[in-house]
Amino acid sequence: MANPGKNPAVRLEGPDGDGIATVWIDCPDSKVNTLSVDLLPEFEALFSKIGADSRIKAVVIASGKDAGFIAGANIDDLGLVRTVAEGAKLSKNAQDSFRKLEKLGIPTVAAIHGDCLGGGLELALACTARVATDHRKTKLALPEVMLGLLPGGGGTVRLPKLIGLANALDMMLTGKNIRASKALKLGLIDAAVPAGKLLESARKLAVDLAHGKPAHAKKKPNVQEEVQTFLLEGNQLGRRVVLHEARKKVLKQTKGLYPAPLKILDVIGKGTYEAEAQGFGELLLTAESHGLQHLFHAITALKKDNGPGTEGVTAPKVTRVGILGAGLMGAGVGTVLADQGYTVRLKDRDHEAVGRGLDYARKVFGKARKRKVYGDAGYDERMARISGGTDYSGFGRCEMVIEAVFEDLGLKQRMVDDIEKVTQVGGIFASNTSSLPIADIAAKAKHPERVIGMHFFSPVEKMPLVEIIVTPKTAPEVTAATVAVARKMGKHVIVVNDCPGFYTTRALVPYMTEAIFLAVEGFALESIDEAATTHGFPVGPITLMDEVGIDVGLKVMKVMKEHYHDRMQFPPDISQALIDEGRLGRKNNKGFFKYENGKSVLEKGEKVVDETVYKHLPNGAATQAGNLPEMAERMILGLCNEAALCLQDGTLRDAYAGDLGAVMGIGFPPFEGGPFRYMDRIGVKTVVEKLKALEAKHGKRFKPCQLLLDKAAKGERFF
């Protein structure tokens, strides 16, 4: 019996005079449609009914939700699976339902608007044809790989047949969204139509198919494409070559740390529903998938958090934003704001700096135009929204000012004072400091309730996180408005309480300082990076120092030293000597690694250490190769201990924010789900034991915090 006691999620309408019936999908009590275990029996019952009704000549499947078609499988169902067999069964159930749809014996057309993801797309793939709206909200994707899974509803079998092996691999291995125009080119859909014409077009196609006409012809490949497709995909040997090359690429990109893309390749190689179900079941129980699912839950939970005291608060609308400092960060923030429709005014000390800021925007928008994200009109519109100058003209009407001048408390306080004088009453002052306490920046403000921290990460247009920092004085309206702006910029948001370094910088410092301790002990610089990347960090700490700027890092380190010297330990300060030598990192082509014109110098595909940097280290050269897991553990456990301390002292308002912030902001391995999930996985008791052993060997910086000690004693977990 399907869905007992609940409103049905699927409804049959018709058939009409032409024999076309419509299946409406409209999951009750939810904004979006998801494919839950409950929904499949409803589908099957409906398909049986359709099969038994000889009046029905063709079927259109459409969504009753404005939000989209189907957003994917219901992730809550996944959490209930305990064995591989149970996981495989989940996949097999979906396959069986979709096969029933495929074998109805009459044409079926999916009418797609909005999200058509995962199981939603697999359902559409089982239809005879697909029509999608050309609206920008329409996205088709198989994103299972991002949850450490594979498409388990027949997608690995049907997609390669429909769009070819190489295109199918690209979709399944990246999980990326495909818009309607691209989907049409790939042959993933049969027509792209304006939103107002979706049902009419799908119905018309259903009528045509019922009369034996073929679905809209896919673009015919040219001879070269045809030969290439035959050579690579049309025969067993060619397919093996494609899969082998894909495996090599995956191994290089993931260092073998992610089982899902490799399993996808195995399963596609076998090409059967049985292999798909078995692979799905196996992946579902991997630690990596659990970590990625955890991250998904963190994202969902934090979307509802607008910061302390914001419940019921209406966020004042922000449309115009002033930016102080058009350097790396100011320019990046201004660019993303202008992209999202805000009117932006940059201010810097001289016209050259302002010009460089505007050039940054030109470069980012120019790249998007080249990738055809928008055309000339889109580019011009965006550039028209961003302007700059050396005075405060244009700032008076800004509802918000974001400050990104040098990391200097006195300067930042002066900025607050200036802005209070020039902006309208009620304006927000958001500081993009990376370490200074927001309360100190607001110390001399007439309106400290309007001062807040808005910590972006570099490069702003790529990094997905904004850490918002509130002081006890920050007004909830200010918090709500700042969170709204960050979300409109397309960022994940965590809201944390104020302290020097807040959450992300505090968690990052032990990781970075440990890297320097290792360097001082004589470990080769590239092996320190390798220790981190083989554990899943996207870049190693030494590379990160070059990216952020050794000078910027030193300023942050000074603030952290001033506040935390009693419990943190800092390695001998080599940064000043590096800076004195003009070694600032990638930005001036001189860092720990070698650069030319801002690009890394590579040998055999690997970055090359600038050996002359060793003269600043006590041994004058690399003297140890090192045990990578041990080195990684020192860096990671220091980070975890500090994260736990942030939760203990209330900087973090919950552990989910700690996990999301570490993964999205500082590159903690996503498949671990974040430091708190990682500590749960290996056991808090084990973490404490390891920290104590490191404390005995290296000193107080590894002293486990009280929260960890308490949790270990009680046998508790974070989640």
* Spatial distance between the Cα atoms of 94 and 409, rounded to a whole number of angstroms: 58
Q: 189 — phi, psi (to 5°)?
A: -125, 165
Query: Site for ligand NAI (CB under 6 A): which residue of 142, 329, 524, 688?
Result: 329
Helix (H, G, I), strand (E, B) or coil at 70: strand
What does each C-alpha distance from 200 to 101, 504, 575 come to in angstroms?
A: 22, 51, 67
3-state secondary structure of 406: coil
* Nearer Cβ to ligand NAI (652/666): 666
Coil, helix or strand at residue 151? coil
- Residue from 456, 668, 676, 718 in contact with ligand NAI (CB under 6 A): 456
In whole angstroms, the minimum distance from the beta carbon of 425 to ligand NAI comes to 22
β-pair partners for 463: none
Told to judge if 467 belongs to the known catalytic residues of this protein, a careful annotator would answer yes
Query: Residue 235 has which token pair?
Result: 């025969």
Contacts to ligand NAI from residues 641-670, by CB under 6 A: none
Q: How far is the CB of 562 from ligand NAI (least distance, A)?
A: 15
* Shortest distance, position 504 Cβ to ligand NAI, whole Å: 9
**What's the min distance (Å) between Cβ of 576 and ligand NAI?**
17
Tell whether residue 335 is a contact of ligand NAI (CB under 6 A).
Answer: no
- Work out whether 328 is an interface residue with ligand NAI (CB under 6 A): yes
Q: Which is nearer to ligand NAI, 408 or 689 (CB)?
A: 408
C-alpha–C-alpha distance, residues 93 and 110, integer Å: 20
**Residue 347 binds ligand NAI, judged by CB under 6 A:** yes
Among residue numbers 356 through 415, which ones bind ligand NAI (CB under 6 A)? 404-407, 411
Question: Applying CB under 6 A, does 672 fall inside the site for ligand NAI?
Answer: no
Residue 431 DSSP code = E
Binding mask 75-94 vs ligand NAI (x if CB under 6 A, - otherwise)? --------------------
* Contacting range for ligand NAI; rule: CB under 6 A; set: 198-206, 261-269, 302-310, 456-464: 456-464
Instruction: Report the residue from 33, 108, 306, 432 that binds ligand NAI according to the rule CB under 6 A.
Output: 432
The distance of closest approach from Cβ of residue 642 to ligand NAI in the complex, given in angstroms and rounded to an integer, is 18
Q: Any contact of residue 336 with ligand NAI (CB under 6 A)?
A: no
Listed ranges 166-174, 206-214, 252-260, 322-330: which one lies at the site for ligand NAI (CB under 6 A): 322-330
200-219: contacts with ligand NAI (CB under 6 A): none
Find the angle CA(538)-CA(540)-CA(546) to the nearest 5 degrees. Answer: 110
Does 325 bind ligand NAI (CB under 6 A)? Our answer is yes
Q: Can you tell me the distance from the alpha carbon of 136 to that of 114, in angstroms, rounded to the nearest whole number?
A: 8
| Number of residues in contact with ligand NAI under rule CB under 6 A | 25
Q: In terms of CB distance, is 11 or 356 closer to ligand NAI?
A: 356
Amino acid at position 179, single letter: R
Q: Which of 457, 487, 503, 475 is nearest to 646 (CA)?
A: 503
Residue 325's SS3 state is coil
What tokens does 345 get?
Answer: 């005014």
Answer for the pair 93, 40: CB distance below 8 angstroms, yes or no.
Answer: yes
Tell which one of 174, 254, 458, 589 touches ligand NAI (CB under 6 A): 458
CA dist 74 and 76 (Å) reads 5
Asked whether position 548 contacts ligand NAI by CB under 6 A, the answer is yes
Spatial neighbors of 567 by CB under 8 A, at least 6 apart, are: 700, 701, 703
Residue 504 is a binding residue for ligand NAI (CB under 6 A): no
Q: Find the part of the chain contacting ligand NAI (CB under 6 A) among 371-379, 544-552, 562-570, 620-628.
A: 544-552
Residue type present at position 327? G
CB 466 within 8 A of CB 660: no
Q: Pick out residues in 552-571 that bind ligand NAI (CB under 6 A).
A: 552
Q: Does the footprint of ligand NAI cover residue 461 (CB under 6 A)?
A: no
**326 or 707, CB closer to ligand NAI?**
326
Catalytic residue from among 467, 477, 526, 672: 467
At what angle are helices 376-384 and 351-370 packed, to 10 degrees?
A: 160
Q: Which of 434, 474, 513, 575 binds ligand NAI (CB under 6 A)?
A: 434
Q: Tell me the three state secondary structure of residue 599.
A: strand
- Reduced to 3 DSSP states, what percent helix, strand and coil does the chain have, rounded to the nearest 5? 50, 15, 35
SS3 (DSSP) at 167: helix
d(CA 87, CA 96): 14
Instruction: Report the residue closest to ligand NAI, judged by CB.
Output: 327
The H or E element that residue 60 is part of is strand 58-63
Question: Looking at beta carbons only, is 31 or 444 nearer to ligand NAI?
Answer: 444
Q: Rounded to the nearest 10 degrees, how much is the dihedral formed by the CA atoms of 145, 150, 153, 157?
A: 110
Q: Which stretch binds ligand NAI (CB under 6 A): 202-210, 323-331, 370-378, 534-542?
A: 323-331
Asked whether position 134 contacts ligand NAI by CB under 6 A, the answer is no
Closer residue to ligand NAI, CB minimum distance, 405 or 707: 405
Q: Any idea what DSSP says for residue 543?
A: H
Instruction: Please pick, from the candidates 167, 433, 543, 651, the single residue that binds ligand NAI as defined by CB under 6 A.
Output: 433
Helices 287-302 + 259-270 axis angle, to 10: 120
Residue 220 burial (10 A CB sphere; 0-12, 13-18, 19+):
exposed
Q: Is the Cβ of residue 132 or residue 419 nearer to ligand NAI in the bound state?
A: 419
User: For ligand NAI, which is the closer residue by CB, 293 or 432?
Assistant: 432
Footprint of ligand NAI (CB under 6 A): 324-330, 347-349, 353, 404-407, 411, 432-434, 456-458, 548-549, 552
Name the residues annotated as catalytic: 467
